[in-house]
Amino acid sequence: MHTRKHILVIGGGVAGMESAIHLCDMGYEVTLIEKQDQLGGHVLKWDFLFPDHRPAYEITNELCPAVEEKATIKLQTEVKNIVRQNGHFEVALSDGEKLTADALLVATGFDLFDAHKKEEYGYGIYDNVITAAELEERFQNKIPIRTAAGKKPARVGFVHCVGSRDEKVGNEYCSKVCCVTAVKQAMRVRESLPGCEVFCFYMDLRMFGRYFEDLYREAQEKWGVQFIRGRLSEAAEDIDQRIIVKLEDTLAGRPLRMAVDLLVLLTGFVPSEGTRRMATMLNLPLGNDRFIKPSDEHLRRNLTPVPGVFVTGASAGPRSISESISDARAAALEIAAWFNNSSQHAI
Amino acid sequence: MINWQFTLHPDHTINLDTNDRTLARLLEEKEPTSRICMACGSCGGTCTAAQFEPVSFRHILLMVRRGETESVRSELTKCMYCGKCTLVCPRGVNTRHILALLRTMLIN
Ligand code: SF4
Ligand code: SF4
Ligand code: SF4
């Protein structure tokens, strides 16, 4: 290699960081850009991770310094424009800088579904309806779980599939990690508020990962979390600011209603604004879920049909942190293989 | 008596605010495996009595846990305590013990 190949990684979440570290280790020159003012992405906002309850900062504590040491990092930076020229990408960044890259890795990830759009659940209307991300922030900041009026809740409900598996909001897909997140958080609520009853309202419990089923069982056995099968049809507030939920208990085959003091919405994944922008800018094909579609869902999960453009992490669909990390390593290998193959033919 | 030309229907909704779930709590104390049913239905599928009568352990336990105790009284009397449901349960719910406890608490 007479000149080192230069790869631009777009997005500094776990996927982008992990790919960048491995690409640097393979001898490539890497620039990583992140639109926020720090690296880490969504994981920065999580307190602890399923299935083993390890603190989330352990992930960023390992990845951030490693990538900072090896790659060129540009924070608060976005891509403005990309032009293909002689097999390179001429990239204009939001800070005015222009750089040339031999390959692009899209790691722009997901946003959480905006719970306001599911109006019938009352988010933004009733103070005691919050999202799982907001609950996690309370865990992280050691804020005790209280109702809007500052009282200890006697009952907390978790609503699965908010903004997922729902044609009404245009998202037909499953977001994959919210079932286990609900179970994880339900256990934590029971742990921190022993007298509080906790209910999960679910359609299917998708405990797909290793040890997830153990969590489900532990939630029932040790923590007495109660699972009610049925999708919430609506939530309304009563005079005491409690949230009245209605659904069908589909195992009983009868309608069910109850009041909870706090209702937690498990909002799903949607392609992030950055992912949508990159897909448009680079003309990348999308799946019917609007996430980026790789060239081959089995064999080439990081390759896109656009030569030199690769994808990793949740910009190619909902996935967990550990899946994103494995995927990011795979992306680094895919890029190396592509360079090796193209140098045999071209130039 | 005046004929009002209409009748009152009892509410068909399961109301977890008004339902009395004391029995479910008692059951959890006496047989903690009553918490871990995952509603797979193996018990009802194998039940000897279910071939002839409407009885499902899954349903009985669910209704007790929802505080709808009255609705399972007759279902409970159909059980013959053969214990097949305990043999098949993939979660290790002590179904037969629960059935016996419920019978004592609700019928005897
Ligand atoms: S993981 Fe569970 S809560 Fe999330 S969308 Fe899928 S089924 Fe719904
Ligand atoms: S013990 Fe009762 S419920 Fe269980 S299989 Fe036998 S008859 Fe059915
Ligand atoms: S077999 Fe066991 S887990 Fe399955 S429904 Fe019956 S009691 Fe529940």
Contact B35 A221 (CB under 8 A): yes
B41 touches chain A (CB under 8 A): no
Cβ–ligand 2 contact at B58 (below 6 Å): no
The C-alpha atoms of residue A340 and residue A48 are separated, in whole angstroms, by 40
The verdict on domain A6-109+272-346 having CATH code 3.30.43.10 is: no
A248 touches chain B (CB under 8 A): no
State how far Cα A113 lies from the chain centre. Answer: 10
CB-based burial label for B53 (10 Å; 0-12, 13-18, 19+): middle
pLDDT at B6: 83
Confidence of residue A344 (pLDDT cuts 50, 70, 90): low
> What residues of chain A lie within 8 A of the CB of B36, using their CB?
217, 220-221
Confidence of residue A346 (pLDDT cuts 50, 70, 90): very low
CATH number given to B22-106: 1.10.1060.10
B78 touches chain A (CB under 8 A): no
The answer to whether the A6-109+272-346 and A115-268 domains have the same CATH topology is yes
Residue B21 has pLDDT above 50, yes or no: yes
Condensed to tens digits (0 to 9), the pLDDT of residues A174-226 reads 999 999 999 999 999 999 999 999 999 999 999 999 999 999 999 999 999 99
Atom 1 (ligand 1) nearest CA: A176
Taking a C-beta distance cutoff of 8 angstroms, is the pair A328, A107 a contact? yes
pTM for the predicted model, two decimal places: 0.95
Integer CA distances (angstroms), B14 to A202, A237, A250, B34, in order: 17, 19, 11, 20
3-class SS letters over A215-275: HHHHHHHCCCCEEEECCCCEEEECCCCCEEEEEEECCCCEEEEEEECEEEEEECEEECHHH
Helix (H, G, I), strand (E, B) or coil at A80: strand
pLDDT at B3: 83
DSSP state of A305: S
pLDDT at A205: 97
Dihedral of the alpha carbons of B24, B28, B30, B34, in degrees to the nearest 10: 100
B96 touches chain A (CB under 8 A): no
> What residues of chain B lie within 8 A of the CB of A259, using their CB?
17
Atom 2 (ligand 3) nearest CA: B89
pLDDT at A347: 39
Q: What homologous superfamily does CATH list for A115-268?
A: FAD/NAD(P)-binding domain (3.50.50.60)
Smallest Cβ–Cβ distance between B62 and the set A216, A221, A252 belongs to A252
Confidence of residue A237 (pLDDT cuts 50, 70, 90): very high
Atom 8 (ligand 3) nearest CA: B37
Helix (H, G, I), strand (E, B) or coil at A46: coil
pLDDT at A211: 97
The ranges assigned to domains in chain A are 6-109+272-346, 115-268
Tokens 């053969």 belong to which residue? B82
Contact B38 A254 (CB under 8 A): no
Average pLDDT over residues B31-55: 96
Condensed to tens digits (0 to 9), the pLDDT of residues A268-319 reads 999 999 999 999 999 999 999 999 999 999 999 999 999 999 999 999 999 9
For residue A224, the chain B residue with the least C-alpha distance is: B35
Average pLDDT over residues A100-113: 98
Helix (H, G, I), strand (E, B) or coil at B47: coil
> What residues of chain A lie within 8 A of the CB of B12, using their CB?
254-255
B58 touches chain A (CB under 8 A): yes
ipTM: 0.93
% of chain B residues with pLDDT over 90? 85
pLDDT at A306: 96
As beta bridge partners, residue A74 has A33
3-class SS letters over chain B: CCCCCCCCCCCCCEECCCCCCHHHHHHHHHCHHHHCCCCCCHHHHHCCHHHCCCCCHHHHHHHHHCCCHHHHHHHHHCCCCCCHHHHHCCCCCCHHHHHHHHHHHHHC
Ligand 3 atom with minimal separation from the B42 CA: 1
Confidence of residue A121 (pLDDT cuts 50, 70, 90): very high
Helix (H, G, I), strand (E, B) or coil at A74: strand
The ranges assigned to domains in chain B are 22-106
DSSP state of B103: I
Among A226, A242, A243, A263, pick the best mutation site for testing chain B contact (most B Cβ within 10 A).
Answer: A226
Q: For residue B33, what are its two tokens? A: 């495996």
A65 CB-near residues (< 8 Å, 6+ apart): none
Q: Residue A226 CB: number of other CB atoms within 10 A?
A: 20
Which is nearest to A71 in space by CA: A14, A5, A25, A2? A25
Cβ–ligand 2 contact at B27 (below 6 Å): no
% of chain A residues with pLDDT over 70? 98
Residue A345 has pLDDT above 70, yes or no: no
The mean pLDDT value of chain A amounts to 96
Condensed to tens digits (0 to 9), the pLDDT of residues A34-91 reads 999 999 999 999 999 999 999 999 999 999 999 999 999 999 999 999 999 988 999 9
Condensed to tens digits (0 to 9), the pLDDT of residues A311-342 reads 999 999 999 999 999 999 999 999 999 999 98
Mutate to test the pocket of ligand 1, among A50, A159, A164, A200 (most ligand atoms within 8 A of CB): A164
